[in-house]
A and B are shown apart, each in its own frame.
Chain A
């Protein structure tokens, strides 16, 4: 019946980024982040388990570490969809700021050396991917509930109608072995992904009844609040090598891969019908629900398979003096795997006022078309005093999101430039690292092309974002 319902669900599953390209975070570890993530060759603290497991071979103490990063993105969107409710002539939303949120990203690790044959093992918990955003983006257009019935109440509608919340964390066991100036390391283990996405889709009543072509424009698209929430397990691994060419020069390289993650969870849809006394009086009894302000909702389950992107990179570190370390990394991420995503629904039946079955929603195809990206990182560390280190770093990171699939859930303004500062302090058996990251404000304007419609997988308009990040890392060495 509702053939357009295939478009009703999610059109972008993987969206808003907190930090680096796509939904990848800037990285792991206050020290590495202070150096802009140029750490594949430096690789001499616990975060090497993420950047380059080969560095584990040179850690000689048993240590436990706790790390936390607070991330504060500021994003805004100036809609240019032309669709009433978002903007068009009646835009109440000339500009929308994402709901302010601060995200806390934890990580920790335990490292211990084996005394046999210079082996090292470690266990770590890291969060390589994450996203989160909340937007109050859609309002019912003027006249959507146009009634003289004073007893009528507009149905409850979610204020933050565009939301994303995704996190991926790794629980990895790491192993490394050195061969003189050369070492090799491997991290591998389980990957846990959780996801929640909410957005507004639209239902065109003319797909049911062609006479709806003549409806006033405010009734030509009925909004559908769409939400999915689920989790899944997968596997992943990181392989790295380090070659210490001499006392001053070190090369490092590593690559990360993930298995396909099967996500399962719940899906909830609610379609909001308008209210108009006049049109209601013109409708035959079986179609009156279309103009009496009722809702059609349904809950079911969904499954999908998510490809987390593989990544590879190489770095070089150089120590011109005892006090100074400089590092440069080049990194490549295969976001290309996020092309299209098929979502299957089960038992998702929309019912008018929870009673009259309207339609069964079965599948959805999500279009992403992300591009592979490069990231270039540069960082330095300077020993101000024997126990006090000053760090700084920069990175440039390409955006994988093309104009033709960007939505408000990914306020990705394009390539990112990140400035990082950090301090390290050694106190007895403890090492304390602090970092501050600022991703510079940038703006992307996505034009609305002539083929744009409510079914398009992107939202045209202007996107702006900047990000503050603050991290603290405490390492205790036994």
Chain B
């Protein structure tokens, strides 16, 4: 009997001292971020800052995949970290072995119009770029800088972008599949023909909607971009930026056919005010699109570029990721659907998601809009490219 009295406290003690790890999950190791200056070949761009992320346990003797995170319209190189905490996402995903360790670079593609659309802004009669050669900047200058300064696996350079950055990611990816291994568009305008769809609840399309903003301005021609463009006129600000990237114009003020929506925006430095830089909008006076829009479709539309570069894309087995919220307030969901349908027709393997909501965040309260749920979407695109 005496043994019972001995056993009882011993058992209670044993039960009490049983060690249990309370949280079963990854231990997070932190990488580092730094800001670097990346000069551009194009003097119109100059030297721009970029944020660089190096993974936990970074070893310069190893080769790392690189992910370029492209910001959206109005953003800059700080966007991905300041809003979405890319470092936190990468630290977690690498530590939990959901993706392989990688270097991340967040370059800056903001120009005087608020966004370069990662495009070479060129007007043929004019030797210099108009609003910056940003395609060249990313593909040559930024990639070159990263290769020169970090141990990069050149066969694994990826592009991930939101909105304008999503457009840039796919555009640069499909045009340069020999440089980029994969490209991801989160809510990108990637099928320009869809701009001509009537906006639900209105009788105008996306481009015509700009006119209503302009009507508020009395259809006057701004003498400088800063006077007209800005957050209070988001649609036309964005359209002007697209036109600055895809259909710029340079010449004397009198050479701009304002009745055909050729808009001079500002004088070109060093020309004593005689030469103006401006844009050719893809509009007719009637509000219909003009031949400029066809230029956009032919030269800058991702949907078109997929078709024209498809052999090259297939040859390099470019990884393509496309998503968009079905309640995208810029009506970009049809763009994602169009490209997805095209890739399906071409029987090309890719990732596509028209997201409705996130688990636990019902769509009626947490609408899947242009930039919402971006952390979760980046998680998916990173995993698609670098998943272990």
Contact A146:B360 (CB < 8 A) given known A93-B25, A95-B24, A423-B4: no
The segment from A276-284, A330-338, A375-383 found at the interface with B is: A276-284
Cβ-based interface call for A307 (8 A): no
Interface contact B361-A217, CB-CB below 8 Å: yes
B15–A72 CB distance below 8 A: yes
A472 interface residue per 8 A CB criterion = yes
Distance in Å: Cβ of B110 to nearest Cβ of chain A: 14
Say which one of A14-22, A294-302, A361-369, A445-453 lies at the interface with B: A445-453
Closest CB-CB distance, B227 to chain A, in whole Å?
A: 23
Whether the pair B88, A204 counts as a contact (CB closer than 8 A) is no
Interface residues of A in 130-152 (CB under 8 A from B): 136, 141-143, 146
> In angstroms, how far is the closest chain A Cβ from the Cβ of B370?
7
- Give A378-406 interface residues, CB cut-off 8 Å to B: none
For A, the interface residue count at a CB cutoff of 8 angstroms equals 56
Inside 8 A of B20's CB, which chain A residues have their CB? Answer: 74, 97, 100
Q: Is the CB of A217 within 8 A of B83?
A: no
- The residue that B360 contacts in the complex, of A88, A96, A100, A434, with Cβ under 8 A, is A88
Report whether B375 and A143 are in contact in the complex, using a CB–CB cutoff of 8 Å. yes
Do A91 and B4 touch across chains, with their CB atoms under 8 A apart?
no
Determine which of A76, A216, A453 lies in contact with B365 in the assembled complex, contact meaning CB atoms within 8 Å. A453
Does A228 make an interface contact (CB < 8 A)? no
Name the A residues within 8 Å of B197 (CB-CB): none
**Residue numbers in B under 8 Å from A434 (CB-CB):** 4, 8
Of A88, A142, A221, A278, which is within 8 A of B82 by CB?
A: A278
* B367 and A216 contact, CB distance less than 8 A: no
* A100 contacts B18, C-beta separation under 8 Å: yes
The answer on a CB contact under 8 Å between A215 and B1 is no
Q: Encode contact with B along A93-134: 1 for CB under 8 Å, 0 otherwise.
A: 111111110100000000000000000000000000000000
Q: Is A257 an interface residue (CB 8 A)?
A: no
- B1-48 residues with Cβ-Cβ distance < 8 A to A are 1, 4, 8, 11-12, 15-16, 18-26, 28
Contacts of A470 in B (CB 8 A): 8, 11-12, 15
- Contacts of B15 on A, CB cut-off 8 Å? 70, 72, 102, 468, 470
Given contacts A70-B12, A72-B15, A92-B28, contact A216 B22 (CB under 8 A): no
Of the candidates A136, A142, A276, A434, the one having the most CB atoms from chain B within 10 angstroms of its own CB is A142
CB atoms of B4 and A94 under 8 A apart: no
How far is it, in angstroms, between the C-alpha of A98 and the C-alpha of B23 when the chains are bound? 9
The reply on B89 being an interface residue by CB < 8 A is yes
For the complex, is A231 an interface residue (Cβ under 8 Å from B)? no
> Are the CB atoms of A217 and B358 closer together than 8 Å?
yes
A90 within 8 A of B: yes
Of all chain B residues, the one with the shortest Cβ separation from A76 is B24
Give per-residue flags for B345-366: 1 if the beta carbon is below 8 A from chain A beta carbons, else 0: 0000000000000111110011
Query: How many residues of B sit at the interface, in one of the four size bands?
Result: 35 or more
- Are the CB atoms of A216 and B372 closer together than 8 Å? yes
**Distance of A100 Cα from B379 Cα, bound (Å):** 33
Partner of B23, one of A93, A217, A220, A279: A93
Q: How far is the CA of A311 from the CA of B373 in the complex (A)?
A: 49
* Measured CA separation A142–B16 after assembly (Å): 34
Residues of B within 8 A of A218 (CB): 84-85, 375
Q: Which single member of B8, B84, B329, B370 contacts A143 (CB below 8 Å)?
A: B84
The answer on a CB contact under 8 Å between B83 and A88 is: no
Q: Which residues of B contact A76 (CB under 8 A)?
A: 24
| B374 contacts partner chain A, Cβ-Cβ < 8 Å | yes
Q: Are A92 and B360 interface neighbours, CB within 8 A?
A: no
Chain A, residues 423-437, CB within 8 Å of chain B (1/0): the string is: 101010000101010
- Is B376 located at the chain interface by the 8 A CB criterion? yes
CB distance from A4 to the nearest CB of B (A): 9
Determine the chain A residues whose CB is within 8 A of the CB of B214 once the complex forms: none
Contact A214 B370 (CB under 8 A): yes
Which of the 9-residue segments A31-39, A77-85, A321-329, A411-419 touches chain B? A77-85
List, in ascending order, chain B residues with CB within 8 A of A74's CB: 20
Asked if B195 lies at the interface with its beta carbon under 8 angstroms from chain A, I say no
Contact A146 B85 (CB under 8 A): yes
What is the minimal beta-carbon distance from A383 to any residue of chain B, in angstroms?
Answer: 16
Flag whether B297 is at the interface (Cβ < 8 A): no
| B358–A82 CB distance below 8 A | yes
With CB as the reference atom, state the residue of chain A lying closest to B327: A213
Give the Cβ gap from A102 to chain B, nearest Cβ, in Å. 5
Given the known inter-chain contacts A96-B22, A97-B24, A143-B84, please indicate yes or no for A217 contacting B359, CB distance below 8 A.
no
Distance in angstroms from A208 CB to nearest chain B CB is 13
Q: What is the distance, in angstroms, from B73's C-beta to the closest C-beta of chain A?
A: 14
Alpha-carbon gap, A452 to B360, bound state (A): 6
Whether B360 and A216, one on each chain, are in contact in the complex, defined by CB atoms closer than 8 angstroms, is no
Candidates A83, A89, A214, A453; contact of B375 at CB < 8 Å:
A89
Q: Quick one: which of A183-240 are within 8 Å of B by CB?
A: 204, 206, 213-218, 220-221
Can you name 18 extra interface pairs (CB under 8 A) apart from A90-B89, A96-B23?
A81-B360, A88-B360, A89-B379, A92-B92, A96-B22, A100-B16, A146-B82, A146-B83, A216-B84, A217-B358, A217-B373, A218-B84, A423-B4, A448-B359, A448-B360, A452-B360, A453-B360, A453-B365
Spell out B's residues near A (CB within 8 Å): 1, 4, 8, 11-12, 15-16, 18-26, 28, 78-79, 81-85, 88-89, 92, 329, 358-362, 365-367, 369-376, 379-380
11 A–B contacts, CB within 8 A, in A order: A82-B361, A88-B359, A93-B23, A94-B25, A97-B21, A98-B22, A143-B89, A214-B329, A216-B372, A217-B358, A278-B83
